[in-house]
């Protein structure tokens, strides 16, 4: 039986998995309108820098020794997602869809790996 804290962690990882799957599905079906997409906007840059900083803080924050791999999973996925978003702001338009797909894949992998780490935890 999962404790309420572990169940909450598992649900959060499931949300990341669903968010990445939704992004991949929207890209695969052409449901994202790129006519108004501005990756060079200040909001896009701010979110990408914030995600990168949040991931670095998650990596630097001390935690329990048994949760080390969960911390690395969360921190590296946020840093990678922030860097992918930052690279989208400097990429040509042909690469935007591919980089968004990489971002969705990062979220899906984070959800799967995080769920496995939570379920493996004793």
| Tens of pLDDT, residues 84-114 | 999 998 988 889 999 999 999 999 999 999 9
Q: How does DSSP classify residue 90? A: T
pLDDT digits (tens, 9 = 90+) for 46-94: 999 999 999 999 999 877 776 888 999 999 999 999 999 999 989 888 8
pTM of the model: 0.91
Return d(Cα 16, Cα 87) in angstroms, integer: 21
| Whether the predicted pLDDT of 121 surpasses 90 | no
Rounded Cα–Cα distance for residues 118 and 2 (Å)? 10
pLDDT at 94: 84
CA geometry: angle at 8 spanning 61 and 62, to 5°? 10
Contact 115, 10 (CB under 8 A): yes
Given this model, what pLDDT does residue 122 score? Answer: 65
Whole-angstrom Cα distance, residue 10 to residue 108? 13
């Amino acid at each position: 039986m999962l404790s309420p804290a572990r169940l909450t962690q598992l649900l959060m990882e499931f949300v990341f998995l669903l968010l990445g799957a939704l992004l991949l599905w929207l890209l695969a079906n052409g449901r994202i309108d790129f006519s108004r997409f501005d990756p060079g906007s200040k909001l896009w840059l701010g979110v990408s820098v914030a995600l990168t900083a949040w991931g670095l803080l998650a990596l630097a924050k001390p935690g329990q020794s048994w949760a080390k791999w969960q911390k690395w999973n969360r921190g590296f996925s946020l840093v990678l997602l922030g860097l992918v978003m930052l690279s989208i702001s400097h990429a040509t338009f042909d690469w935007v869809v591919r980089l968004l797909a990489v971002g969705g894949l990062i979220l899906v992998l984070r959800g799967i790996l995080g769920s496995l780490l939570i379920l493996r935890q004793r």
